[in-house]
Chains A and B, each alone.
Chain A
Amino acid sequence: AQSVAQPEDQVNVAEGNPLTVKCTYSVSGNPYLFWYVQYPNRGLQFLLKYITGDNLVKGSYGFEAEFNKSQTSFHLKKPSALVSDSALYFCAVRSYSGNTPLVFGKGTRLSVIA
Chain B
Amino acid sequence: DSGVTQTPKHLITATGQRVTLRCSPRSGDLSVYWYQQSLDQGLQFLIQYYNGEERAKGNILERFSAQQFPDLHSELNLSSLELGDSALYFCASSARDLRAGELFFGEGSRLTVL
Contacts and interface: CB of A to CB of B under 8 A. Distances in A.
Nearest to A94: B99
B56 A43 contact: no
Given A43-B2, A107-B42, A101 B56 contact: yes
Interface in A82-114: 90, 94-97, 99-107
B48 to A, nearest CB: 6
Given A41-B107, A45-B2, A101 B45 contact: yes
Interface residues of B, number: 22
A96 B42 contact: no
Nearest to A98: B99
Interface in B44-59: 45, 48, 55-56, 58
Contacts, number: 53
Nearest to B6: A43
B43 A90 contact: yes
Contacts of A43: 2, 4, 90, 92, 105-108
B103 interface: yes
Given A99-B56, A105-B42, A46 B107 contact: no
B42 A101 contact: no
Nearest to A51: B100
A42 B56 CA distance: 25
Contacts of B33: 101-102
B102 interface: yes
B26 to A, nearest CB: 12
Given A43-B107, A101-B56, A105-B42, 6 more contacts: A36-B105, A41-B107, A43-B2, A45-B2, A99-B55, A101-B58
Interface of B: 2, 4, 33, 35, 42-43, 45, 48, 55-56, 58, 90, 92, 99-100, 102-108
